A = this chain, B = another copy of it.
Amino acid sequence: MFASTPEPPYYVVVFTSQRTPGDQGYADMGARMFELAHGRPGFLGAESVRNAEGAGITVSYWESTESIAAWKADAEHRVAQELGQQRWYERYAVRIARVERAYDWHAAPRAAG
């Protein structure tokens, strides 16, 4: 779940979406896009959650706006984007933002029982 990202600055793409009902090939394509993005120059990581009602947020992290633009223009990704509009999404929003500050926190190991 948790992406390991470098010190800021870097970029984040926030993709908020509402799925249509049913899978219709979505899970397979999602896995393929995840795999494909991982191989792209400038890709730093991604985190994604979808709930039982089909609402989802995916955040992907990138070194630069150029690497984001190149990923958006990728031929196989463009096919997925097209199918997304035809089949998989009712609605989505995309925001591209420059990460300026980041911090995280882990629980100390909790005693069992």
Interface residues of A (CB under 8 A from B): 1-3, 5, 8, 11-12, 14, 16, 18, 20, 47-52, 55-57, 59, 65, 85, 89-107
Contacts and interface: CB of A to CB of B under 8 A. Distances in A.
Nearest to A11: B97
15 contacts: A1-B18, A11-B97, A12-B97, A20-B107, A49-B55, A49-B57, A51-B51, A52-B52, A57-B59, A65-B100, A92-B105, A93-B104, A95-B102, A96-B99, A97-B99
Q: Is the interface of A mostly helix, strand, loop or mixed?
A: strand
Number of identical protomers: 2
A14 to B, nearest CB: 6
B94 A97 contact: no
